[in-house]
Amino acid sequence: MKKKIALLLCLVMCLSLFVTGCGAKKINATELFNVVEKGFNGSGSVEIEVNPDYAMSLVLEKAGKKKQTDFLSLLSGEDPVVKYIDSIVLDTVRCEGAEDGSLSNGDKVVLVLKEDPVLAKEVKMQLKTNEIPYTMSGLTEAEEYDPFADFVIEFHGDNGEGYFSYDYPWDTPVYVSYEFKDETGKEVKSYEDFLSNGDKVIVYIDADEDYIASQGYVLTQTKKEYTVSGLTEFEEITEDFVLDAAVLEFSGAAPQADIYIDYDLPSDIADCFYYYVDPSYDVNIGDTVTIEVSVYEYSLKEAGYAFSTPTDEITREFVLTSDMVPKYLSPDDVLTEAQQETILSEIEDAVSSKVATSKSGYMTINDESNEVKGIKELGLDSVYLLYPKDSNLKSVYTVNALGFIYKFEFEVKDGKKIISYLFVGMEDVIVNLDGTINLTEASVDTSYYFEEKDDLVDEYINANKTDYTVTEITYFETLTDDDIEEPDEPEETEATTAETEKP
């Protein structure tokens, strides 16, 4: 027994020396691998498949003589030679004028293999050449199938709001599904109404082409582009055209102006829009106003028109300026002589009417009854303008008031003279766009006669300072100190009549 073991070891050592001396065994790739053709003529490809007979001969040659039971273990995948053969893969396929996957019969290809150098060194084997030349010859002719042959796509609706529908037969030899994208690659749905004539819809085929090939078919195309057409065209109308047709009308004056809106549109589309403005009342210069127009798209299209971009409402903002709306006289205004004359004409009429009833007879002057013998008008003493504070601009009923204070000298019984002051008020004075004074809303009232000007100012001017700012106006021509004459001290007289109280 020991002799057999020693002999075996000697044999192994000799074999080892023999292999070492001869170097790595050269493997013939064309014998180790068979070339397998896949697919159809024009869409073929190649793969490699191990030749089991040649591979087994390499395994057995490397293993030497063993019991039959040991040979079975060689096929377990743990054998170094088996591992080495498994490591050899198809790296690339070279073909002039074609690529793997689009090969045809007659194409000459070169299969380039790649082996694992570590395993090759371990088993002392090496490919003689890593290239296998091959000529394609066994590809069969596949039946072509065009997935778009009976596919139908139709476009519906209006230009700019179009959509599509599609149909295809269900009894086809292969199964495919369809996907839809726009020109940017975004997926679209048939029910989305956004298309315009001239747009592109690209239809893509979603299919398992390998499975289809196994059934003997090849797809002739996998995408197709369709141009949108047939959508109803309309004459384009612009938002500016509609908004420019707005006609604004104003009543009252700033800061409490009211705005009314009308429009000037062709009769065939006049009923396709509804105009309104916001805010529409208590509007002041500097306020932002919005014109809003509701669009009845259905009626507009029936008339043959449409916007380039469909919309059901359009708007435009603008700032109310002084050249757009009349305004109530304010402290910022300086009236011209012509404007002053218009106002003074009304004021002086009221003064004349008052004086006409004050020339004679018994009347209350400075809270006392006097027998008047005569009256002398000394002129305009001062003028005040009442204008709402900012917080009250749009809430007060009376927007402005001019207060004119006139000075008089009464001659009473026994030739005595009394100085008195009269208040004449004018409310709601408006300055028109052309600069003229509008007194259509104005009203004029007069007071009774005051002995002290300060008392008159307190009662008619200062009493309103809670809601109004008070400004003394200097552009009206008034009395100077030189115009004032000191009157005689009046004597007390018995009150017999009473003047009208403050309205």
* Vertex 273: Cα angle to 268 and 276 (nearest 5): 140
The DSSP code for 399 is -
Report residue 332 as tokens.
């910022």
Same domain, 257 and 401: no
Task: Write down which residue in 267, 285, 319 finishes a domain.
Answer: 319
12 belongs to a structural domain: no
Task: Write down which residue in 181, 197, 227 finishes a domain.
Answer: 227
E runs forming strands in 6-151? 25-27, 33-38, 45-50, 89-95, 108-114, 125-127, 131-135, 143-145
The DSSP code for 200 is E
Whole-number pLDDT of residue 111: 95
113 belongs to a structural domain: yes
Same domain, 371 and 454: yes
Task: Report the C-alpha gap between 401 and 470 in whole angstroms.
Answer: 10
- Tokens 């104005």, located at residue: 442
Residue 337: closest CA among 407, 436, 430, 405? 436
14 belongs to a structural domain: no
Report residue 369 as tokens.
């009854």
Per the structure, the count of domains in the chain is 4
CB 141 within 8 A of CB 157: no
Per-residue pLDDT of the chain (503 residues; tens, 9 = 90+): 333 323 333 333 334 434 443 568 899 999 999 999 988 888 889 999 999 999 898 888 887 755 444 555 555 667 899 999 999 999 999 998 888 888 999 999 999 999 999 999 999 999 999 999 999 999 988 888 999 999 999 999 998 889 999 999 999 999 999 999 999 999 999 999 999 999 999 999 999 988 888 788 889 999 999 999 999 999 999 999 999 999 999 988 999 999 999 999 999 999 999 999 999 999 999 999 999 999 999 999 999 999 988 899 999 999 999 999 999 999 999 999 999 999 999 999 999 999 999 998 888 888 888 899 999 999 999 999 999 999 999 999 999 999 999 999 999 988 899 999 999 999 999 999 999 999 999 999 999 999 999 999 999 999 999 999 999 999 998 765 454 454 444 444 333 333 333 33
Same domain, 476 and 413: yes
Whole-number pLDDT of residue 74: 58
User: Where would I find the H helices in 23-51?
Assistant: 29-32
H or E element at residue 226: strand 223-227
Give SS3 for 453: helix
**Residue 354: count of CB within 10 angstroms of its CB:** 20
9 belongs to a structural domain: no
Same domain, 347 and 251: no
Whole-number pLDDT of residue 414: 84
Same domain, 88 and 178: no
pTM, 2 dp: 0.55
Residue 328: closest CA among 434, 395, 391, 401? 401
Same domain, 381 and 474: yes
Same domain, 44 and 154: no
Task: Report the C-alpha gap between 379 and 480 in whole angstroms.
Answer: 10
Report residue 322 as tokens.
């002084």
Residues contacting 38, CB < 8 A, separation 6+: 44, 45, 46, 47
Q: What DSSP string runs through 342-393?
A: HHHHHHHHHHHHHHHTSSSEEEEETTEEEEEEEEEEEEEEEEEEEEE-GGGT
Task: Report the C-alpha gap between 193 and 257 in whole angstroms.
Answer: 44
Same domain, 198 and 246: no
pLDDT in tens, 352-398: 999 999 998 888 888 888 899 999 999 999 999 999 999 999 999 99
Task: Report the C-alpha gap between 271 and 263 in whole angstroms.
Answer: 11
CATH number of the domain encompassing residue 162: 2.60.40
Residues contacting 125, CB < 8 A, separation 6+: 24, 25, 27, 58, 62, 81, 84
Same domain, 157 and 246: no
Question: Within its chain, how far is the Cα of 146 from the centroid?
Answer: 43
Domain that holds residue 74: 20-135
pLDDT in tens, 278-328: 999 999 999 999 999 999 999 999 999 999 888 999 999 999 999 999 999
Residue 112: closest CA among 29, 39, 41, 49? 29
Same domain, 129 and 148: no
Same domain, 250 and 214: no
Task: Write down which residue in 281, 299, 319 finishes a domain.
Answer: 319
Report residue 297 as tokens.
């798209």
55 belongs to a structural domain: yes
Question: Within its chain, how far is the Cα of 242 from the centroid?
Answer: 20
Residue 109: closest CA among 16, 25, 35, 5? 35
500 belongs to a structural domain: no
Residues contacting 154, CB < 8 A, separation 6+: 164, 165, 166, 230
Whole-number pLDDT of residue 6: 34
DSSP percent split of the chain into helix, strand, coil, nearest 5? 25, 35, 40
Same domain, 335 and 476: yes
Preceding omega of 266 cis (within 30 degrees of 0): no
User: In whole angstroms, how far apart are CA 348 and each of 25, 252, 447?
Assistant: 135, 25, 14
Whole-number pLDDT of residue 435: 95
354 belongs to a structural domain: yes
84 belongs to a structural domain: yes
